[in-house]
Amino acid sequence: MSDVQWPPLSPFKTGVHGRCPRCGQGHLFEGFLKLKPHCEVCGLDYSYADPADGPAFFVMMFLCVPAVIFGLWLEIAYSPAWWVHLATSLPLILLTCVPPLRPLKGWLVAAQYFYKAEEGRLVRPQEAERPA
């Protein structure tokens, strides 16, 4: 299948929907957050993908922090009973922490494929000047 030319697909569309970044048809995930070893449609090996803690960082910084600030504001402003936090703050924190993880991880993996991101490597000046 290496002779096939694949059209460039939007990393956002394929990643958020959990689809293969090359063909857009195969599935990216095996479980909730575990990546499959390869695409079942085009055979793309997903071993290149390493989003590391990126999804968790973005979720914590942009969604969880405001949710926790809401809980703190609620406590300081009204000093409600514990069950009010159980009914408002806890669901808000859970809804802002868990559901966005999978789409964000898919988007980061698809972006790594689309932009051909690799691990950085140091090249010595002598190696860079040598002809191939």
Widest Cα–Cα separation across the chain: 72
- How is the chain split into domains, by residue range? 11-114
HEC assignment per residue over 13-40: HHHHCCECCCCCCCECECCCCCECCECC
- pTM for the whole structure: 0.83
Decide: helix, strand or coil at residue 102.
helix
Mean pLDDT of 78-92: 96
What does DSSP assign to residue 130? Answer: S
Dihedral Cα 64, 67, 69, 71, nearest 10 deg:
-130
14-44 tens-digit pLDDT: 999 999 999 999 999 999 999 999 999 999 9
